[in-house]
Amino acid sequence: MSEFYDPYSNVVDVMTEAMEIGGMNQYMFDIIKNPQRETKVYLPVEMDDGRVQVFEGYRVQHSNIRGPFKGGIRFHQDCNLNEVKALATWMSLKCAVVNIPYGGAKGGVRVDPNTLSQRELRKLTRRYAFAIEPLIGADMDIPAPDVNTNSQTMAWILDTYSMLKGKPCPGVVTGKPLELGGSKGRNSATGRGVAISTKLILERDGKKLEDVSVAISGMGNVGGNAARILFHRGSKIVALSDVSGGIYCENGLDADEISEFLEQTGKQLNDYQKEGVRHITHEEVLTCKCDVLIPAALENQINADNAEQLQCSYIIEGANGPTSVAADALLEERGIVLVPDIFANSGGVIVSYFEWVQNIQILTWNREQVNKTLEKIMSAAFIEILEESQQSQCSLRMAAYIIALKRLIYAEEIKGIFP
């Protein structure tokens, strides 16, 4: 029987355990664990056929104790307030663990964007931007792309916000097109961060990327870019999946060829055919024999139902919250090393920070500078996580949470309670 999964309860449970292990102030923790603001909006949109449809949207601002709120916007048919609360909380922790001056936020609209025309999607995005306009801004709350949103979505939000303010406001969003003030390397940053995380944990154990086989669940922005980068660095990609299902090849898949097939044809992995490649289920991708498993789709992919069947040695969490609390305990018992989401997929927000800095300073960095600085920040944060894990005799997830919470709680303590 499947375990009940609530993403917000999941993140609070993990935070609570980290607070106890780290011996932190309970009263300050009670402040930090709760979002500062939860906003629900209703978005009437005139559809192409003339009818009006009302969509439900959210923006949750978890913490700005260490800097402006920061977090993506997702469009998904299963999006709900508790999910967005969890994602906003993870963002606060993520920014704190890699020590960039942001707090956490997240937004979402309950919609299947595949059912909308481009015109309907643009109108919905602009209506959502109008609804949350009082909450966002370059020094207040900076949205970015997430599931089913991209640089085009950010361009629409930027334009709507700038029209309302009567001037160009490039710093209001990150992940936007280069022509509108975006950063080189931003589109691939989260996937690159996953690849960097994989490299760092392997180096700890005296291994190299060329030594390992990799399975990736999810071929969106994060999984797709991680697959290509790891493929270029010599890893053997044995399994991939998207919403249509999975593919497997023991001798390795050509991530470049597959990405090109998906992008140029608009088809999905269930349409991909090649000698030696067989089609498998999502679950079989997660449980196939590999050295490194990268869950890069949605939450709760790895749970109590399948944790015992995993055949990997390492898990690098490309998605937010892909592993349940119950599964965490089972994986630890089995000796499977897990690099947690709040570190492993932090590449996106780190490069969003670079983009924001470039906008404020009216500067442009080259791709090499972006990628080099990203790896420098992640490598420094990883050393801190390893040291905390050894000192507190805990998992890498607990270590990352302890570091993040200590930074958030310290900031709360030194500022004091208002009034």
Q: What is the pLDDT of residues 385-396, one digit of tens each?
A: 999 999 999 999
Among the ranges given (40-49, 149-158, 231-240, 297-306), the one the predictor scored with the smallest mean pLDDT: 297-306
d(CA 38, CA 356): 24
Per residue in 266-281, pLDDT (tens digit) is 899 999 999 999 999 9
What is the rounded average pLDDT of the residues 358-384? 96
Instruction: For helices 221-232 and 255-265, give the axis angle rounded to 10 degrees.
Output: 140
CATH 3.40.50.720 residue ranges for the chain: 188-339
Distance in angstroms between the alpha carbons of the first and the last residue of the chain: 49
Backbone φ, ψ for residue 57 (5° rounding): -130, 165
CA angle (90 as vertex; 129, 408 as ends), nearest 5: 105
Does position 415 have pLDDT exceeding 60, yes or no? yes
pLDDT at 186: 95
pLDDT at 298: 83
Report residue 94 as tokens: 């993520």
Q: Which CATH fold topology does 7-15+34-169 show?
A: Rossmann fold (3.40.50)
d(CA 78, CA 81): 10
Please name the helix (run of DSSP H) or strand (run of DSSP E) that holds residue 116, with its range, or none. none
- Point out the annotated binding site for substrate: 70, 94, 352
Q: Are 342 and 90 in contact (CB under 8 A)?
A: yes
What is the rounded average pLDDT of the residues 99-111? 98
Q: Which residues contact 374 (CB under 8 A, 6 or more apart)?
A: 185, 189, 192, 193, 196, 347, 350, 351, 354
CATH number of 188-339: 3.40.50.720
d(CA 234, CA 256): 13
CATH 3.40.50.10860 residue ranges for the chain: 7-15+34-169
- Point out the annotated binding site: 70, 94, 190, 221, 352
Burial 149-174 (b: 16+ CB within 10 A, else e): bebebbbbbbbbbeeeeeeebbbbbb
Q: In the sheet where 52-63 sits, what is the strand order?
A: 37-46, 52-63, 104-110, 69-76, 141-145
Phi/psi region, residue 73 (left: phi>0; alpha: psi -120 to 50; beta: rest), is: beta
Does position 188 have pLDDT exceeding 70, yes or no? yes
Does position 2 have pLDDT exceeding 90, yes or no? no
Q: Which residues contact 399 (CB under 8 A, 6 or more apart)?
A: 385, 386, 388, 389, 392
Is the torsion defined by CA of 233, 224, 302, 6 positive or negative? positive
Q: Which residues contact 312 (CB under 8 A, 6 or more apart)?
A: 215, 290, 291, 292, 293, 336
> Of these residues, 33, 106, 123, 406, which one is catalytic?
106
Q: What is the pTM of this model?
A: 0.95
pLDDT at 316: 98
- Per the annotation, the verdict on 106 as an active-site residue is yes
| Mean pLDDT over the full length of the chain | 96
pLDDT at 289: 97
What is the rounded average pLDDT of the residues 37-48? 98
Residue type at 256 in one-letter notation? D
pLDDT at 1: 39
Of 84, 54, 57, 55, which is closest to residue 72 (Cα–Cα)?
A: 84
